[in-house]
Structure 1
Amino acid sequence: MPEYTATVTVRLKRGVLDPEAATTQRALERLEFHLEDLRMADLFEVDLSAPDRGQAHDRATAMAEGLLANPTVHDYEVSVAEREGGDAATDGGRPAATEDGGEDR
Structure 2
Amino acid sequence: MSKYLISFPSAAMVVPEGEWEAVTRDSHAVIQEAKAAGVYVFAGGINDAEPTLLVSADGSTTIGGYPEAPALNGGFAVLELPSRDAAIKWAARLAQACRCDQELRVFGFDPES
Q: Per the shorter chain, which TM-score range? A: 0.3 to 0.5
Question: TM-score if structure 1 supplies the norm length?
Answer: 0.40
Higher relative contact order (CA 8 A, sep 6+): 2
Question: TM-score if structure 2 supplies the norm length?
Answer: 0.38
